[in-house]
Structure 1
Amino acid sequence: MTGTHDGDRAPEDVLLALADPMRRQILSALVREGGATSTSLAATLPVTRQAVAKHLAVLDRAGLVRGHRTGREVRYEPHLQPLERTTRWLNALAAQWDRRLDAIKDLAEREEPS
């Protein structure tokens, strides 16, 4: 049901979608179950079906789920490629900081105490 390509997903879209604990719980349930409808998810969560549907819409915009109409309901399935790309981006960012911190440490260790 998404209208954009996976390559259009920015890391901040994924991070914003996952910032909410309920959305993380919904995504975890979808991964565990392999897919579900908003009705079946709401039956196991402490929120209404409408709230689940709104959270699913945010996850869908971030590319983390894909919805497919089945009869009168939409079945959502996890789509984790945007999460994997975000993880690679975060790892690259962490590596850059590690290199910078190592350089600072090397400079500090080279200086002799006064």
Structure 2
Amino acid sequence: MAGFEAVLIAGPTASGKSAIALDLAQRIGGAVVNADSMQVYSDLRILTARPTRAEEAEVPHRLYGHVDGATAYSVGHWLTDAERTIDALRGERLIPVFVGGTGLY
């Protein structure tokens, strides 16, 4: 690994965070991890500007679309999922690149 434990990219909507995260993950051997409160929902791909399937194929992506829209999901749930994701990525020797625009997560 490149000496990073994890990376966080945060900023306002439509500021280019996802493109930066994808590029960085490619450069450092990472995986893009969602830190947006709405992109967790499986049925909101277009509405939330989730990464495309083509982008998801370039590097591993985690915590995108893994929750059914009818399911209650909180910051507490996300923290548990994020911790598990970090552990799994470490096992795969991938650096987590967290990206999101919400201050909630």
Same fold flag (TM > 0.5): no
Q: Which has the larger radius of gyration?
A: 1
Point out the structure with the larger helix share: 1
The two structures have a TM-score, normalised by structure 2, of 0.30
Asked which structure has the greater RCO (Cα within 8 Å, sep 6+), the reply is 2
